[in-house]
Amino acid sequence: MTQSFTRRHLFRNLAAPAAAMLVLAGCATTGGAVSPEADKAALLKRAQAYWALLRANDSLGAWPYEEASKDPKATVEEYLKRGGVAYDAVEVRGVRSIEGDRAVVNLWMRYSLPLLRLKNQETAVEDEWRRIDGVWHHVLRRSVMFTKDKE
């Protein structure tokens, strides 16, 4: 009986740490390098959520998706002032490219510019995204009319 108890005790003492190591190794594997397919899926999901918010005219909800939201110099108030576009329809059509922490997503959109009285404009665009701290963020395009950066 002593030998049986010792084997059981030895097995329990060795098996528990081994099982814990396997669990931790599995977490490290899934939490580390992301497969290209998973990365692409995460980007598409984030882009669809972002554009759905803009289509619903929820700029405040879209702010956390913006690269600028990670910049301490940028403010949500400045972001909300930029408006002027009403998105009637937006389709995220796929990921064009992912290179490191930069990506381009293909979009199609129908939009209006109420201040200019332009309606039902359609275009296909390449939408830039940047990964910050493991999360994809939308990169705002700067207007060609306002190229001077704020100091």
Residue 144 has a pLDDT of 40
* pLDDT band, residue 8 (cuts 50/70/90): low
β-bridge partners, 132: 135
Distance CA 114, CA 71 (A): 30
Burial 69-105 (b: 16+ CB within 10 A, else e): beeeebeeeebeeeeeeebeebebeebeebeeeebbb
Instruction: Show the tokens assigned to 133.
Output: 């701290």
- Helical H runs in 32-148? 36-55, 59-62, 76-81
**Torsional class of 3: left (φ above 0), alpha (ψ -120 to 50), beta (otherwise):** alpha
Provide Rg for the chain, Cα atoms: 24
Say what the pLDDT of residue 128 is.
97
Determine the topology of domain 35-138 in CATH.
Answer: Nuclear Transport Factor 2; Chain: A, (3.10.450)
pLDDT of residue 4: 52
Mean pLDDT on 117-125: 94
With beta carbons less than 8 A apart as the criterion, state whether 105 and 44 touch: yes
- pLDDT for residue 59: 94
**Domain spans in the chain, listed from the N-terminal domain onward:** 1-33, 35-138
Instruction: With beta carbons less than 8 A apart as the criterion, state whether 110 and 102 touch.
Output: no
Beta-sheet strand order (sheet of 86-99): 86-99, 102-113, 118-132, 135-138
Confidence of residue 26 (pLDDT cuts 50, 70, 90): very low
Measured between alpha carbons, how far is residue 51 from residues 19, 105, 124 in Å? 44, 12, 14
Q: Is the pLDDT of residue 86 over 60?
A: yes
pLDDT at 150 over 50: no
Is residue 25's pLDDT more than 60?
no
